[in-house]
Amino acid sequence: MELLTINNVWMMICTALVFFMHLGFAFLEIGLTRQKNTLNILFKNIFIITIGLLLYCLVGFNLMYPGFEADASGVFGFAGFGLYAPTTTEGALDLTYNSGYTYWTDFLFQGMFAATAATIVSGAVAERMKIGPFMIFTILYVGFIYPIAGSWKWGGGFLQTMDTPFYDFAGSTLVHSVGGWAALVAVCLLGSRIGKFKNGKVQAIPGHNIPLATAGVLILWLGWFGFNGGSVLSADPAATSLVLVTTSLAAAAGGVVCALVTMLRYKNLDLTMFLNGILGGLVAITAGADQMSPTDAIAIGAIGGAIIVFAVAFIDKLKLDDPVGAIAVHLICGIWGTLAVGIFGNLAGTSQFLSQLIGIGCYAMFCSISAFIIIFTLKKTVGIRVSEKEEFEGLDAHEHGMNAYPDFRLNEH
């Protein structure tokens, strides 16, 4: 009982840290975008966490953990609507549910993860997507697509029961790439912001509050201690300590290498690239944080940081407009981190690498096709993009009827 209490307390602390990450995402997104769209982004972030928890309670948790039978396909299952905690014959909460935490803690910790997938999309479509269609997308993607995808691995589905199971410790693919594939599809269907590309050249659209963006990244780094540390699923001192070390080293290496490569390539010290390098390192280590040595973690984070520089340039070359770099950070570094499990650490080997490729391919197809069906349908029915006038004057005024800073106005693009 004492060990269960210790484990459960640790898991609740990690749940709080993952919840805190939503503030980090909000700060990062508003900091890297323009003042006139601040309220719109904040509204989306608050909507994501609130509706995400409700949907995860009603359907998501039991879609993600349906209790696949051994002879089932392991592709889709559903354990019923709502939450039904296991109880003893006396009616008390059954504490044998799990050695690491109670049923209620399990739900809340996993629910915090669920909302993150749509938050990734929020940043990529910032400043030009209608709020209504985005909310519909969030309901469908968080409520159904994310938990079904998650069940394939974390719910004991077919990726977990392969001869060499696909491995994703805390979600480089299951969380970050699931959001990243949807972000890529959304950006393609939505189009770029007015003025982003002129005469074939990329035009910088600076964010209005880089200090807030910096605070957001530091909050996300702190929250990642819960994201990865909680994925140990207990307070095991050796495992949790290692995970926190590998997480931090990968973040640091990602930031430093990204800043260095940016300086060598563009001859300037770009803080926003430094920040995204840190996030790239964090995303990359997330798939195998429990399997890596400190040296492995530094290498994985460093490669993730370098990838950010070239990924951002490649995305711009394709004329895809991602205001916060979400696709480079969450999708491309998520893929790298997932593959790194088969290259570094305790699971390195050809068989594991092939399993990682299979998992990435399955999620790429399912998430891309699902996101396309949802967003394309919205585009052809209700429309997904605001008018030129609304985009020029700002989504805050037109979608929400107010300003984030009513007594402080800046010159806008």
| Nearest by Cα to 60 from 178, 164, 161 | 178
d(CA 339, CA 221) in angstroms, rounded, equals: 22
What's the CA gap between 33 and 210, in Å, rounded? Answer: 9
Nearest to 38 by CA among 407, 409, 404: 404
Q: What is the pLDDT of residue 72?
A: 72
Q: What is the pLDDT of residue 243?
A: 98
Please say whether the beta carbons of 11 and 109 come within 8 A.
yes
One-letter amino acid at 235 equals: A
Q: How far is CA 136 from the centre of its chain?
A: 19
pLDDT of residue 357: 98
**Geometric angle at alpha carbon 90, from 87 and 92, rounded to 5°:** 45
What residues contact 4, with CB distance under 8 A and at least 6 apart?
Answer: 95, 99, 100, 101, 102
pTM, rounded to two decimals: 0.95
Q: How far is CA 21 from CA 64, 213, 220, in A?
A: 22, 13, 5
> What are the structural domains of the chain?
2-77+93-400 (1.10.3430.10)
Per-residue pLDDT of the chain (413 residues; tens, 9 = 90+): 688 889 999 999 999 999 999 999 999 999 999 999 999 999 999 999 999 999 999 999 999 999 887 557 899 999 999 998 887 766 677 777 777 789 999 999 999 999 888 899 999 999 999 999 999 999 999 999 999 999 999 999 999 999 999 999 999 999 999 999 999 999 999 999 999 999 889 999 999 999 999 999 999 999 999 999 999 999 999 999 999 999 999 999 999 999 999 999 999 999 999 999 999 999 999 999 999 999 999 999 999 999 999 999 999 999 999 999 999 999 999 999 999 999 999 999 999 999 999 999 999 999 999 999 999 999 999 999 999 999 999 999 999 999 999 876 555 54
pLDDT confidence of residue 408: 60
Q: Answer for the pair 193, 321: CB distance below 8 angstroms, yes or no.
A: yes
